[in-house]
Amino acid sequence: MKPGNIFLLGEPADQYDRMAEHTRTGFARFWNEATGYCYDAIDSPSGDDLAMRPNQLFAASLPYSPLTERQRRAVVDACTCYLLTSHEESEVVAVGRTRSEWSQKIDQMIVFGAKLTEEERETLVEYLAETYGP
């Protein structure tokens, strides 16, 4: 909107432009450049919360998002990377696979596109076997 335009409610649009800018400025404090996604909470007694939660997808999906286009893409990419899963936790816990079975399962995931270094793969297999073994 351009200053001086009349908004549908009969109020000057510049009032709404100021409120929109105030919102963008306030929301910008949630952006964490180092992680490429938004803080879950800021200014809490225990400090800023880096937890990755999907609620930031709402901000990225708004037609007049307070996030830049680059930030919107980064939020979607981060949520896809960290939150998208093909298995329910209860499925993982209930199965009780051996180390060999976990190794085969992780190899299947790599075939389907999971990106792990060999060191990450071994660490994951070891963790799953110890934590969710038979």
Q: How far is CA 38 from CA 24, 28, 52, 74, in A?
A: 14, 9, 8, 10
CA–CA separation, 33 and 29 (whole Å): 10
Q: What is the pLDDT of residues 18-59, one digit of tens each?
A: 888 999 899 999 999 999 999 999 999 999 998 888 889 999
Cβ atoms of 106 and 98 closer than 8 Å: no
Question: Which tokens is 56 given?
Answer: 């930031």
Per-residue pLDDT tens over the stretch 77-131: 888 888 877 667 777 777 788 999 999 988 888 887 778 889 999 999 998 888 8
pLDDT attached to residue 1: 44
Domain ranges of the chain: 13-83, 89-132
0.75 exceeded by the pTM?
Answer: no
Helix axes 99-111, 118-132, angle to 10 degrees: 140
